Amino acid sequence: MLNQTLFKSVPLMMGLSLSLMACGPEQESNTVSILGVVIGEQQEKLEKALAPFEEETGIDVVYEGTDSFATLLPVRVDSGKPPDIAMFPQPGLMADFAKEGLLIPIDTFMEPAELSNAYSQDWLDLSTINNQIYGVWYRASVKSLVWYSPKAFDDAGYKIPTTWDEMLALTDQIVADGGVPWCLGMESGAATGWVGTDWVEDIMLRTAGPQAYDQWLTNELPFDDPLVKNAFTQFGDIVLNPDYVVGGYTGAISTPFGDSPKPLFTDPPGCYMHRQANFIASFFPKEIVVGEDVSIFPLPGIKPEFGVPVLVAGDVFAMFNDTPEAQALMKYLASAKPHEVWASLGGYISPHQQVGMEAYTDAITQKQAEILSNADIVRFDGSDMMPGAVGTGTFWTGITDYVGGNDLDAVLDDIQASWPK
């Protein structure tokens, strides 16, 4: 049971009341179980966000966090003991279970207006499989961010770029002034390369647009298509230029992604810009004050017709067991309340469109939430949406090989050949 010492006087949410218990036979233990990826300090915050639901309904929420979610969940399902609700870090994995008929569509017990009031169409589309909605989005990671030192920019007289051309012009100006424009580190153990794939995905959204991006994720647009090659090439224009990146291309491949932003904070700066998701702040040196020593701007758009897209990752809840308790919890998760609670605790961005900026406790998180809210296009991390053999396999290794000097056409052919038949 979650900590219920907080939120003693919370109004009934989403029409829930203790009369819920009268909806048919009560479950033996009156509980709802969740298996999710949130652990440690973040789990504590999730539990506080779920506490008002327990307080109002009397239902015990049993949450189990694991860092082996993708391995553990299929074992539980295959053994006939799935959790009532799972917190998926990847919509592709959720879609796999939905297509097998193992998940309950939430639009069978939630009104369409209830969901459209809570989420933009982009987020609803991400949880729609075969024309039914299966997921309630809860946590978002904003990836299309560029981190910089306001002091370093002010000292050098640099202005924040608002277009891709302005960003490239600034890149060249920094080189002319004797500096290094970009921090970039792709090393991440068995996951080495994902940083590069994020760059390519951001460029695909900005050059090919959302329709082509969606086709790329399903192999309707293959990796050897000129649009994909162009995205790799534009990334290569930055990462393969020895003047643009700390340590050149060898530094990009060998530098751990968590260490890569550190040159932002040296005096003089070892680099001036770092494109990375909001979670990179947890890797900054302890003495760095986010919002003062470092700030953000959105990665600019390239083609005006596509505006400024935002690449995201996130967590989505989906339901395996159709019980009154599970339905009630899913409705609560689709309300603004649990999102506002976690937002007030920090380190969190909500995809829920009814969560106001005032819910966030610091200016940088507010800015990240505003970038997400104002995005012209929102799309999920592509490698997380592709089949595992590609997205977390040959795409990662291929981008690493490309940065390491391999022929781009050969790299793209190899990735395409790995797509499951």
Q: Mean pLDDT for each 10-residue chunk of the chain (421 residues)?
A: 32 39 48 95 95 97 93 95 95 91 97 94 93 96 97 98 98 98 96 96 98 97 98 98 97 97 97 96 94 97 97 96 97 97 93 94 93 91 91 95 98 97 85
Handedness of CA 371, 373, 375, 381 (dihedral sign): positive
φ and ψ at residue 260, rounded to 5 degrees: -60, -30
* Domains 18-141+313-369 and 145-308+386-417 are alike in CATH topology: yes
pLDDT of residue 70: 85
CA-based end-to-end distance of the chain: 45
Task: Extract the tokens encoding 150.
Answer: 């306001």
pLDDT of residue 376: 87
pLDDT of residue 6: 31
- Specify whether the CB–CB gap between 223 and 412 falls below 8 A: yes
pLDDT of residue 417: 98
pLDDT of residue 19: 34
Q: Which residues neighbour 385 within 8 Å (Cβ) at sequence distance 6 or greater? A: 90, 91, 92, 217, 391
User: Three-state DSSP class for 419?
Assistant: coil
Burial (CB count <10 Å: 0-12, 13-18, 19+), residue 7: middle
Rounded Cα–Cα distance for residues 381 and 205 (Å): 11
Dihedral, 223, 224, 225, 227 alpha carbons, nearest 10 = 70
DSSP 8-state class, residue 103: S
Residue 350's nearest CA partner among 191, 144, 141, 196 is 141
- Specify whether the CB–CB gap between 391 and 90 falls below 8 A: no
Rounded Cα–Cα distance for residues 221 and 119 (Å): 28
Rounded Cα–Cα distance for residues 188 and 294 (Å): 23
Superfamily of segment(s) 18-141+313-369: Periplasmic binding protein-like II (3.40.190.10)
User: Three-state DSSP class for 108?
Assistant: helix
User: Three-state DSSP class for 335?
Assistant: coil
Rounded Cα–Cα distance for residues 356 and 112 (Å): 22
pLDDT of residue 388: 84
Q: Which CATH architecture has domain 145-308+386-417?
A: 3-Layer(aba) Sandwich (3.40)
Domain boundaries, the chain: 18-141+313-369, 145-308+386-417
Count of positions (residues) in the chain: 421
